């Protein structure tokens, strides 16, 4: 029977919870604190003679009567909520927590043996209380709590530790060290007043389920069960429950029926699942979840914003969505007003918008790139930095060659595809949408390539490439056109590969389906040398760029990285134990994403949000995302080589450096991306083979099989019956699966995210919306004369409004920003990897290879033969350079989707 004698430490420091974080406390409060500390010190002196050791002593009797004294240290990271505790919990709670700290009852720890006793039963745990000893002196500013355990010699190896937080509020525990045994926690530990169940932490040693020490088997399963929940009730902020739900909360019908949106997920609108929050359903639409409870719940360990730098993505993005955008709306009061001159666009970068008389709420310090204080005055402005594409070449957005180059080395390199069949044909019902055969004819193509070769030769030599948004957008054209201030077409853009390896545009086809008795309208635009057709060509490009911007943001970016990854995160936490080696391999790739996704549902992809109001598809944006998921998304095609092959941009070739041969040799996205893909795959291969030396270990791993089954049948359950899902039976199967997940969350996301401000911060280069139809579609005399008289005005009217443009610019600035403590791939080794020599060596090789990328990419960007990345005024392609300094740099590959 264990008997605890609680003692206080020899030297008392003022508890961190008593530090005057908040100024302006009443004098009586501070006096009360001083009295408390004074009494605690006298109490310590009175009992000092009992024992000079720290914290708790454990007395018991063993057959041998022998013990080993072990010292425990808990490192707790300071948080914003801790600093504000006096305001949020109230003085009473803060007072009680201070007493707990001073008297040694902050955390209660229990050591769990990895071994069973001689009767085959779990050994009794060893308990101790920890108390605050001050701050670590290593510069980390961690709060340090210490305790001592008297551990029987026959206790065996420590396999786990149970933690009970005796305080009234949560704490973020970085790690616990018992003698030389480290428990890496990186986790919020709830107060026992919120949840009486202890938290379970395992050592850094990884085990497959079948290899779990006998003393930990039940605890391993208990810990997983605590993360799954029962699918009932509304989730509370302190909980760590991972469960699935549909996207039934992006609409807001209670505020306005026009903000109603269909549920995404299910037979009608297939979609990946999100994390369940359990909020009440609306009375207006019983199938829609209420948006009243804000912010949206995420499992507590997914909220890292409080322990990251203040400039961390979630914090900064929240500041933009809830501070900057309302400010813009108060300055730019006419929601339909566009830019009357290009000079007005230039002034956004040169002078900015005066915000002197508007409440900033700390925005200047949180968003120093956006807000500038005018030296020598009391004025402040919201001023945008000049995007790199504008800074290097003011007219690059105007040129056809840059229009094409960005399909290979821009924001959306995932869309271009090889033309393999002619004529171009629609798969839509011609009875509804009009003739299926494209209006881009053989004659038009051969006229544009001017006899250099025939159409048949161009097809055979793989010279024709396509941006095809015809079938994807055409079903939405008539619906979008009912919304005031916007229009839409289906589009096809045909390009030709020249002998220099660059692309040149041949034709753009814009199509409007039949509507209200009007037949299908379509027109093919080509680069021209007369003034009228040249301006029509520029307008047609603006429409295509708006289509490409929508596809980039909704598909290449949101759906294929953010949305598709959330089910992987949920399944990993529900089925892979914290001591599972694959959980530890994937963990850095899955951090922070759910919090960012929650924020996106709150104010980016929701009804009335930034995308909903500022992109071409408007309120149909997320429904469009669902359609593309249903028609095109396949897990096996998310691997980079498979994606390139699917689009005809590569073919398998074992003799080629990466096992595939590119159709366009100078394809910067693919050239650099394949380097990163191979290094990730090599790292995953070494890791997997270390823990699974025999194939049968993969198939008999119960946690792993449950994980993969749930990803397929629930997380992406609307596609559970598809035949293309990879099997999970061998090491090679597992390597392909985890490499794909690691690639999507790191390389894929970086390629479509961190160049956003560089390429789209100057919106004429990538407008997000085209507001007016082409002048030659059902032209009126007045409209046509206005176009002929001043075509520049027509182009400016087509571009986004002032409020649409500045909202998008503000968001893209934040999305493109690296925080000061960004976690770049291959930079920091995970503690569990470092403790396994073979894995540590493999990681060091992985890290060294990534460092070599810097020089390789730099040399490519200087090679004049590579004209898609090296040339006068070009923005060099460096999105796959693994590392970066803070800020908007257009490079750097974080482990995870952290913004």
Q: Which residues are catalytic?
A: 557, 562, 749, 753, 899
User: Is residue 511 within a helix (H) or strand (E), and if so which, with residue range?
Assistant: strand 503-512
The separation between the first and the last C-alpha atoms of the chain, rounded to the nearest angstrom, is 52
User: What is the Cα 303 distance to its own chain's centre?
Assistant: 13
Three-state SS letters, 561-613: HHHHHHHHHHHHHHHCCCCCHHHHHHHHHHCCHHHHHHHHHHHCCCCCCHHHH
Sequential DSSP letters for 178-228: ETTEEEEEEEEE-BTTT--SPEEEE-S----GGG--GGGHHHHHHHHHHHH
Nearest CA among 374, 396, 379 for reference residue 387:
396
Longest CA–CA span in the chain (Å) reads: 105
Q: What tokens does 681 get?
A: 């795959």
| Whether the Cβ atoms of residue 342 and residue 796 lie closer than 8 Å to each other | yes
- Round to whole Å and give the CA distance between 781 and 791: 15
What angle do helix axes 593-603 and 564-575 make, rounded to 10 degrees? 130
Phi, then psi, of 512 in degrees rounded to 5? -115, 125
Strand 107-113 vs strand 126-135: parallel, antiparallel, or unpaired? antiparallel
376: left (phi over 0), alpha (psi -120 to 50) or beta: left
Cα 824–Cα 825–Cα 827 angle in degrees, nearest 5: 70
Nearest CA among 771, 477, 774, 397 for reference residue 613:
771
Nearest CA among 221, 223, 222 for reference residue 185:
223
Helices (H) and strands (E) in the chain, counts: 33, 24
Question: 751-786 burial by CB neighbour count: b if 16+ within 10 A, else e?
Answer: bbbbbbbbbbbbbbbbbbbbbbbbbbeeeeeebeee
Enumerate residues 6+ apart whose C-beta is below 8 A from 370: 320, 324, 363, 382, 383, 384, 810, 813
- Round to whole Å and give the CA distance between 315 and 596: 10
Strand partners, 682: none
- Round to whole Å and give the CA distance between 255 and 258: 9
Q: Is the peptide bond before 140 cis (omega within 30 degrees of 0)?
A: no
C-alpha count within 13 angstroms, C-beta hemisphere, residue 211: 13
Three-state SS letters, 736-771: HHHHHHHHHHHHHHHHHHCCHHHHHCCCCCCCCCCC
Sequential DSSP letters for 771-793: -S--TTSS--HHHHHHHHH-HHH
| Whether the Cβ atoms of residue 151 and residue 70 lie closer than 8 Å to each other | yes
DSSP 800: P
User: What is the Cα 426 distance to its own chain's centre?
Assistant: 34
Nearest CA among 739, 703, 560 for reference residue 228:
703
C-alpha count within 13 angstroms, C-beta hemisphere, residue 441: 5
């Amino acid at each position: 029977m264990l008997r605890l004698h609680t003692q206080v430490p020899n030297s008392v420091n003022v508890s961190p919870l008593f530090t005057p974080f908040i100024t302006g406390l009443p004098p009586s409060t501070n006096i009360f604190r001083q009295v408390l500390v004074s009494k605690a010190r006298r109490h310590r002196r009175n009992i000092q003679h009992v024992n000079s050791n720290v914290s708790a002593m454990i007395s018991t009797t063993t057959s041998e009567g022998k013990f080993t004294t072990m010292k425990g240290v808990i490192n707790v990271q300071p948080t914003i909520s801790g600093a504000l505790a006096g305001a949020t919990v109230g003085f009473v709670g803060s007072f009680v927590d201070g007493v707990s700290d001073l008297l040694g009852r902050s955390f209660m720890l229990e050591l769990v043996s990895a071994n069973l006793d001689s009767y085959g039963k779990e050994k009794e745990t060893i308990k101790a209380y920890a108390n605050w000893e001050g701050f670590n002196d290593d510069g980390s500013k961690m709060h340090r709590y210490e305790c001592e355990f008297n551990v029987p010699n026959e206790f065996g190896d420590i396999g786990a530790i149970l933690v009970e937080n005796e305080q009234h509020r949560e704490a973020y525990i970085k790690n616990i060290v018992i003698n030389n045994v480290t428990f890496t926690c990186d986790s919020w530990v709830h107060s026992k007043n919120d949840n009486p169940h202890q938290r379970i932490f395992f050592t850094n040693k990884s085990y497959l389920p079948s290899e779990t020490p006998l003393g930990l088997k039940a605890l391993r399963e208990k810990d997983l069960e605590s993360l799954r929940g029962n699918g009932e009730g509304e989730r509370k902020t302190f909980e760590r429950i991972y469960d699935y739900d549909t996207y039934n909360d992006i609409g807001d019908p209670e505020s306005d029926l026009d903000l109603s949106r269909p549920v995404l997920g299910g037979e009608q609108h297939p979609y990946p699942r999100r994390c369940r929050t359990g909020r009440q359903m609306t009375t207006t639409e019983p199938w829609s979840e209420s948006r009243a409870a804000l912010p949206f719940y995420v499992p507590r360990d997914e909220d890292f914003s409080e322990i990251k730098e203040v400039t961390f993505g979630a914090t900064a993005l929240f500041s933009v969505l809830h501070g900057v955008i309302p400010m813009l709306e108060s300055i730019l009061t006419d929601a339909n007003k566009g830019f009357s001159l290009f000079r007005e666009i230039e002034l956004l970068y040169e002078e900015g918008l005066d915000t002197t008389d508007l409440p900033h709420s700390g925005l200047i310090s949180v968003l120093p790139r956006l807000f500038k204080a005018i030296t020598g005055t009391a004025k402040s402005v919201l001023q945008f930095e000049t995007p790199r594409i504008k800074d290097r070449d003011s007219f690059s957005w105007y040129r056809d060659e840059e229009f094409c180059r960005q399909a290979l080395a821009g924001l959306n390199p995932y869309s271009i595809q090889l033309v393999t069949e002619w004529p171009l044909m629609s798969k839509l019902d011609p009875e509804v949408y009009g003739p299926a055969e494209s209006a881009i004819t053989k004659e038009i193509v051969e006229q544009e390539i001017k006899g250099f070769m025939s159409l048949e030769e161009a097809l055979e030599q793989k010279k024709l490439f396509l941006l095809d948004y015809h079938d994807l957008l055409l079903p939405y054209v008539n619906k979008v056109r009912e919304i005031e201030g916007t229009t839409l077409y289906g589009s096809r853009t045909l390009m030709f590969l020249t002998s220099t390896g660059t692309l040149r545009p041949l034709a753009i086809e814009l199509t409007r389906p039949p509507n209200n008795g009007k037949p299908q309208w379509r027109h093919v635009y080509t680069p021209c040398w007369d003034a009228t057709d040249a301006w029509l060509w520029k307008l047609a490009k603006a429409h295509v760029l708006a289509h490409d911007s929508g596809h980039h943001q909704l598909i290449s970016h949101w759906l294929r990285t953010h949305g598709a990854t959330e089910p992987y995160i949920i399944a990993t936490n529900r089925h892979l134990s914290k001591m599972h080696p694959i959980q530890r391999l994937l963990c850095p790739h899955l951090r922070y994403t759910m919090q960012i996704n929650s924020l996106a549902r709150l104010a980016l992809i929701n009804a009335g949000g930034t995308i909903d109001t500022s992109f071409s598809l408007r309120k149909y944006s997320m429904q469009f995302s669902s359609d593309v998921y249903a028609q095109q998304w396949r897990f096996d095609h998310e691997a980079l080589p498979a994606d390139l092959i699917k689009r005809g941009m590569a073919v398998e070739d074992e003799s080629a450096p990466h096992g595939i041969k590119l159709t366009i040799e100078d394809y910067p996205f693919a050239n650099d991306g394949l380097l990163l893909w191979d290094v990730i795959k090599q790292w995953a291969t070494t890791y997997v083979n270390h823990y699974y030396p025999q194939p049968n270990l993969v198939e008999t791993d119960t946690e792993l099989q449950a994980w993969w089954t749930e990803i397929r049948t629930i997380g992406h359950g609307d596609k559970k019956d598809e035949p293309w899902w990879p099997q999970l039976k061998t090491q090679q199967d597992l390597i392909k699966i985890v490499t794909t997940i690691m690639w999507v969350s790191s390389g894929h996301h970086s390629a479509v995210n961190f160049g956003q401000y560089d390429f789209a911060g100057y919106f004429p280069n990538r407008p997000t919306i085209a507001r007016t139809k082409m002048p030659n579609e059902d032209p009126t005399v007045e409209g046509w004369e206005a176009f002929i008289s001043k075509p520049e005005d027509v182009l400016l009217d087509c571009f986004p409004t002032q409020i649409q443009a500045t909202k998008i610019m503000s968001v893209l600035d934040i999305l493109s920003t690296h925080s000061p403590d960004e976690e770049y791939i291959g930079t920091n080794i995970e503690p569990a990897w470092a403790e396994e020599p073979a894995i540590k060596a493999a990681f060091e090789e992985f890290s060294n290879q990534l460092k070599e990328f810097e020089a390789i990419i730099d040399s490519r960007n200087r090679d004049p033969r590579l004209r898609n990345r090296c040339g006068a005024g070009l923005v060099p392609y460096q999105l796959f350079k693994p590392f970066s300094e803070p800020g908007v740099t257009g490079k750097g590959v974080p482990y995870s989707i952290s913004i």
